[in-house]
Structure 1
């Protein structure tokens, strides 16, 4: 895995700008796990990745990634490769396959 050394970064902080629209003083990080993980996947830096991996644990991050409703193709490919998650297990992939595509002609 790309972030194998996350345990070496126990003091990593989450960039507050990722959750700019929320009041973080009373933000429930456990309840909003999927949102936090989605924001880190879409816009996070290495410290943000280290934070979620230390805070939630590897298996919980993988579970959250599988439950995210939308990711663009680049982010979907990234998490699939990095966390060894087949596309078919990603909700965002199966949801994308169900939507009708317009013809390109």
Structure 2
């Protein structure tokens, strides 16, 4: 994504997901202070992917049920068959 056209409100979901997946603890603190909790939770619920460590962290930190997260429910739909 072009940083020049990145808007912190319009692209909040993208920014939050990227910081959670690839950011540092100080960057996480920045999004916590910049965005309201509901915006962050909504972005987490709609995210397409979290690595396993981030997935566990966001569930615990934001007290979410894994079934609320699109990345979890979508992953469960596409499980490979045993051969």
Identify whether the pair has TM-score above 0.5, normalized to the shorter chain.
yes
Provide Cα deviations, 1:3-56, integer angstroms capped at 9, x if missing partner. xxxxxxxxxxxxxxxxxx5234x4211111111011111111122112111211
Match of 1:41 among 9, 20, 30: 20
Aligned to 1:99: 78
Aligned to 2:2: 22
Stretches of structure 1 lacking an aligned partner (at least 5 in a row): 1-20
| Greater helix content | 2
TM-score, normalised with respect to structure 1: 0.70
Task: Give 1 or 2 for the bigger CA radius of gyration.
Answer: 1
Q: How many residues align?
A: 83
Match of 1:81 among 54, 60, 69: 60
TM-score, normalised with respect to structure 2: 0.86
The offset of 1:102, in angstroms, is 4.5
Aligned to 1:53: 32
Provide Cα deviations, 1:44-102, integer angstroms capped at 9, x if missing partner. 11221121112111221111111101112221111101111010001100000000224
